[in-house]
């Protein structure tokens, strides 16, 4: 059965949901609302929504309401739209903690179903300009339904979200909140503390190589947003932060005692666990083989490489400029479907005097 | 004056140095040695070295010896080659700590100059297969010369390394070691502890989104290598780790006291400092503007996009496949030189029915 969607908050997540759900057979119209009229305009332009509607108007006509605004705005929005929601309307959110949201959803009128949601996806580009139809591809999307939700309501939402490419996982709100404390909130605090450890000194920052940049990237996120998130999950975060401090203190002791074996064990365990986390996948691309080629810096070189490979029926499944120097050249990483194709691609590029090898 | 280089250890760094220095006007021949004969073979194949030579033979003829093996092998190598080094030979390393290396270099014969080196660059691909001519582009390359080094010896090495594209910084070994404790060694321990906090539980790992992956990427490094690095810088690491634990304890207290303002201050400070660290640059590319386009999944599409833009004289300075779904399509990020070009590129792509917008 097709439903109309109403997306409240047209930012990165709201915008990406609109793009991803546009062509779902389960969707009729997509309406949107944002306090920022520019975002509404942009959403119309990009085909994210069919129409911008005021809060109460959209809410009164929608089959599913997506709350894609910051956590702290939820109570006011529910207050504003609660009385116009029709029975059997589904309301779901995309906030980072779920116990508190489920608590807020308890205020919904009878017959309106509030199902907590948390897509574990993001982008360094915030706001609607980061909207991407494939943002949720292969990402985990947690749903925390209330115990009394009708099966067909939950089933509809699940099926709808599968269309985004996400892997939908159903769990209890408190369980979710404990998991994100470990996997997201404490890492966030750690990143902030690592950055503060530099005291902002120039010599420290100058030395920041790729490792430090990666480790602390999330410390550039909005402090307002994260203050909200962390305090909305205060107890679990506190508990896990304490456990984290205990682990670090153990390492500190190993260093102080010159106990090489003890520290080695910690590093080894971390490597074993970390290696189990799948590589950052760019969606549902299958595994592929990689080649690297060194190219001269000249206009159109990427098109040329695409042509050289394309004319030999070699499809590029991934491409990245690794490093480059203006006016000189650079190295490009290219992914192709398998080892055999990679070797073929290398031969082909070499025949055009482009230095290339299989990684 | 041209010198012959001898690279001991043909891995990621040794291999990249060879590739980067091949065409330097300051270099005559590049010889190499590795305990792994396969690495030597590959180095010859990739044109990284002119010839593979045994340790003592290479060392006796070289003007500059690069030690690109793990720290713990240095004493044995110096022992092995010390007596064949000619006066005025330069020996330099690429290890992650410098006080201990400078200590080892004290055993060099009179007239041989040991200058500590640390290029702050790396790659997720280890070994010679990761070798990249542009690895050091725009990276900091620290040199820690002994106080009595002749000006022309240090000058030669500096000039040589500038050719790799690195920014050479000269500092005292102890100062370097304190900086890397803050910017590299404590972050490494933090990453390992964050991973161990998950206890390797499936539900935790399943939830690991991009943020956690980035923050803990370095925990996948070799525990043997890092045990060496951390204990070779034990005192400074211990000191900075203690400071890190103190920062985290302050955050823990803010959460326990429900002191939103105190935690906000920490997050805000981290953001201000983190935002000062330049973006991960892929070399000396100038700033550029970005567009995103949604493309159908079809063979040769990247070549086609390259052609479409190339034929309009639009040069792609960066390209990345953001996300994709096999048999469906994906989104590609393209960097072009400025905003105006970006708008032109969008128009051009749209005229070929490719959905695109400026980010």
Greater confidence, B95 or A327?
B95
- CA B60 to chain A, closest CA, distance in angstroms equals 32
- CA B49 to chain A, closest CA, distance in angstroms equals 16
pLDDT level of residue B280 (50, 70, 90 thresholds): low
Percentage of chain A lying above the pLDDT 90 cut: 64
Chain A hits for B293, Cβ within 8 Å: none
What confidence score (pLDDT) does residue B22 get? 92
| B209 part of contact set with chain A, CB < 8 Å | yes
How far is residue B232 from each of residues A257, A259, B178, measured CA to CA in Å? 14, 13, 12
pLDDT level of residue B284 (50, 70, 90 thresholds): very low
What mean pLDDT is reported for chain A? 90
Chain A hits for B331, Cβ within 8 Å: 132-134
User: Which segments within chain B are labelled E, that is strand?
Assistant: 3-8, 27-33, 51-52, 64-67, 90-93, 113-119, 140-144, 167-170, 289-296, 318-325, 329-336, 355-358
- Asked whether the beta carbons of B94 and B65 are under 8 A apart, the reply is no
Chain A hits for B245, Cβ within 8 Å: 245, 248-249, 252
A299–B315 CB contact, under 8 Å: yes
pLDDT digits (tens, 9 = 90+) for B126-177: 789 888 888 898 889 999 999 999 999 999 999 999 999 899 999 999 999 9
pLDDT beyond 60 at A285: no
| A76 part of contact set with chain B, CB < 8 Å | no
Q: Which residue of B has its CA nearest to A197?
A: B244
Pairing of strands B355-358, B289-296: antiparallel
- Least confident window among A94-108, A188-202, A271-285, A311-325: A271-285
A218–B211 CB contact, under 8 Å: yes
- Asked whether the beta carbons of A165 and A20 are under 8 A apart, the reply is yes
| B76 part of contact set with chain A, CB < 8 Å | no
Chain B hits for A97, Cβ within 8 Å: none
B357–A46 CB contact, under 8 Å: yes
Percentage of chain B lying above the pLDDT 70 cut: 94
pLDDT beyond 60 at A281: no
Please tell me which of the candidates A193, A230, A283 has its beta carbon nearest to residue B330. A283
Chain centroid to CA B61: 29
pLDDT beyond 70 at B269: yes
CA separation for the pair B101, A126 (Å, rounded): 45
- Least confident window among A31-45, A167-181, A317-331, B230-244: A317-331
Torsion sign over Cα A11, A17, A21, A26: negative
Greater confidence, B26 or B133?
B26
What confidence score (pLDDT) does residue A200 get? 92
pLDDT digits (tens, 9 = 90+) for A248-264: 999 999 999 999 999 99
CA separation for the pair A315, A188 (Å, rounded): 38
B192–A133 CB contact, under 8 Å: no
pLDDT beyond 80 at A279: no
| A124 part of contact set with chain B, CB < 8 Å | no
pLDDT beyond 90 at B3: yes
- CA A314 to chain B, closest CA, distance in angstroms equals 8
Chain B hits for A143, Cβ within 8 Å: none
Both structure tokens of B102: 């400078």
| B46 part of contact set with chain A, CB < 8 Å | yes
User: Which DSSP helix (H) or strand (E) runs through A28?
Assistant: strand A27-33
B282–A323 CB contact, under 8 Å: yes
Domains, chain B, in order of start with CATH, read: 3-171 (3.40.50.720), 176-274 (1.10.3660.10), 289-358 (3.30.70.260)
- CA A205 to chain B, closest CA, distance in angstroms equals 6
What confidence score (pLDDT) does residue A286 get? 54
What confidence score (pLDDT) does residue B287 get? 63
Q: Which residue of A has its CA nearest to B355?
A: A46
pLDDT digits (tens, 9 = 90+) for B196-254: 999 999 889 888 877 788 889 889 888 998 999 999 999 999 999 999 999 999 999 99
Greater confidence, B62 or A23?
B62
| A28 part of contact set with chain B, CB < 8 Å | no
Both structure tokens of B204: 């935790």
| Per-state percent for chain B, helix, strand, coil, to nearest 5 | 50, 20, 35
SS3 state of residue A81? helix
In total, chain A counts a number of residues equal to: 359
| Per-state percent for chain A, helix, strand, coil, to nearest 5 | 50, 20, 35
CA separation for the pair A29, A6 (Å, rounded): 8
- Least confident window among A272-281, B92-101, B183-192: A272-281
- B residues 241..270 contacting A (CB < 8 A): 241-245, 247-249, 251-252, 255-256, 258, 260, 263-264, 266-270
| B349 part of contact set with chain A, CB < 8 Å | no
Q: Which residue of B has its CA nearest to A319?
A: B320
B213–A273 CB contact, under 8 Å: no
- Asked whether the beta carbons of B9 and B69 are under 8 A apart, the reply is yes
Q: What is the ipTM of this complex?
A: 0.82
What confidence score (pLDDT) does residue A284 get? 47
pLDDT beyond 80 at B268: yes
- Asked whether the beta carbons of A190 and A216 are under 8 A apart, the reply is no
What mean pLDDT is reported for chain B? 90
Q: Which residue of A has its CA nearest to B131?
A: A359
pLDDT level of residue B279 (50, 70, 90 thresholds): low
pLDDT digits (tens, 9 = 90+) for A163-218: 998 989 999 999 999 999 999 999 999 999 999 999 999 888 888 877 788 889 88
What confidence score (pLDDT) does residue A98 get? 97
pLDDT digits (tens, 9 = 90+) for B299-354: 677 888 888 888 888 888 888 877 766 666 678 888 888 889 999 999 999 898 88
């Amino acid at each position: 059965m097709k439903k109309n969607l109403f997306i409240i908050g047209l930012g990165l997540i709201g915008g990406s949901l609109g793009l991803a759900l546009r062509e779902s057979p389960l969707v009729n119209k997509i309406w949107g609302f944002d306090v920022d009229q520019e975002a509404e305009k942009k959403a119309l332009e990009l085909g994210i929504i069919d129409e911008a509607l005021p809060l109460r108007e959209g809410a009164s006509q929608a089959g599913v309401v997506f709350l894609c605004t910051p956590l702290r705005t939820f109570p006011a929005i529910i207050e504003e739209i609660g009385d116009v929601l029709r029975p059997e309307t589904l309301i779901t959110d995309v906030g980072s903690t779920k116990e508190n949201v489920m608590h807020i959803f308890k205020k919904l009128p009878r017959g309106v179903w509030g199902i907590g949601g948390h897509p574990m996806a993001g982008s360094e580009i915030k706001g609607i300009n980061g909207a991407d139809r494939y943002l949720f591809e292969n990402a985990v999307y947690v749903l925390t339904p209330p115990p009394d939700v009708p099966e067909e309501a939950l089933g509809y939402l699940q099926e709808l979200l599968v269309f985004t490419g996400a892997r939908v996982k159903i769990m209890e709100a408190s369980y979710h909140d404990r998991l994100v404390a470990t996997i997201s909130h404490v890492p966030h605090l750690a990143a902030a503390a690592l950055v503060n450890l530099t005291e902002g000194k120039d010599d420290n920052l100058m030395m920041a190589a790729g490792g430090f940049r990666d480790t602390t990237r999330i410390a550039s996120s909005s402090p307002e947003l994260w203050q909200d998130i962390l305090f909305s999950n205060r107890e679990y975060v506190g508990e896990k932060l304490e456990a984290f401090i205990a682990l670090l203190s153990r390492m500190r002791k190993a260093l102080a005692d010159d106990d090489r074996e003890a520290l080695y064990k910690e590093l080894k365990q971390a490597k074993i666990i970390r290696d189990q986390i799948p590589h950052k996948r760019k969606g549902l691309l299958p595994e592929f083989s990689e080649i690297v080629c060194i190219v001269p810096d000249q206009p159109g070189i990427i098109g040329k490489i695409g042509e050289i490979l394309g004319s030999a029926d070699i499809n590029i499944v991934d491409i990245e400029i690794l490093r480059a120097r203006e006016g000189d050249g650079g190295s490009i990483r290219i992914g192709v479907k398998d080892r055999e194709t990679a070797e073929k691609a290398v031969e082909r590029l070499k025949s055009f005097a482009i230095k290339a090898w299989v990684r």
